[in-house]
Amino acid sequence: MFGRNKTPSDGKATSDAAEQQAEDASSAPAGQTPKKGRPTPTRKEQEAARRKPLVPTDRKAAKRQSRDDARRQRVEQREAFARGDEKALPPRDKGPVKGFIRDYVDSRRNFGEILLPLMLIVLVLTVLPNHMLQMIAFFLVWLVVVVGVVDAFLMVRRIKAQIRERFHTEPPRGTASYAVMRAFQLRSGRRPMPRVKRGDKI
């Protein structure tokens, strides 16, 4: 009557202690008095055990760790994409058909690859006073562009025919642009990186 009212925490602590004593009694050998279980935890101990920090104690360290983790994930993602890991590829690069297109382009010599270096040479020649060299350079640029376009057109036709033959399906939308853009890139700058060598049979 004059004692303090029992709180739910006190009731839970008493219940836990009773269960522990029951377990000790059931596990004790016959004829022996079971030993008393661990001391009943106090209310403060129970609250401390249940209490978890909602925010890290060192916010600066936690923020720095979060930035480091995000940076590491981005690096791993870029490396996986460069290797051609299927899980890291964006939708435009996924699938066996897109992989075949990349391999086909990478296995051949493309005229489009020399277009960018040739443009740099022409840019240098434009500052020279020799008009004849400038005319020759411009002529070579246009010649490479025309030959590159014809070469890319024939390449796309072969790629589409190979897709129909190997995969028994129509080439996906954007096959031509996907193949041509890769063919006009320098081999060292292609992503995903080439996984076949020039001249390899696809």
* Three-state secondary structure call for residue 75: helix
Q: Which residues contact 156 (CB under 8 A, 6 or more apart)?
A: 175, 176, 179, 180
Per-residue model confidence (pLDDT) at position 133: 81
Query: Residue 182 burial (CB < 10 Å; 0-12/13-18/19+)?
Result: buried
Q: Which residues contact 147 (CB under 8 A, 6 or more apart)?
A: 111
Q: Which residue has the higher pLDDT, 29 or 198?
A: 198
Neighbouring CB atoms inside 10 A of 179's CB total 23
> What are the structural domain ranges in the chain?
8-50, 55-88, 91-189
Q: For the chain, how many residues are written?
A: 202
* pLDDT, tens digit (0-9, with 9 covering 90-100), for 70-84: 888 888 888 888 888
For range 19-34, the mean pLDDT: 48
What is the average pLDDT value for the chain, to the nearest integer? 79
* pLDDT, tens digit (0-9, with 9 covering 90-100), for 109-168: 998 888 888 888 877 877 878 888 888 878 888 888 888 899 999 999 999 999 999 999
Per-residue model confidence (pLDDT) at position 175: 95
Per-residue model confidence (pLDDT) at position 165: 95
Q: Which residues contact 197 (CB under 8 A, 6 or more apart)?
A: 107
SS3 per-residue string spanning 118-151: HHHHHHHHCCCCCHHHHHHHHHHHHHHHHHHHHH
Per-residue model confidence (pLDDT) at position 3: 47
Percent of the residues in the chain that have a pLDDT greater than 90, as a whole number? 30
Per-residue model confidence (pLDDT) at position 39: 67
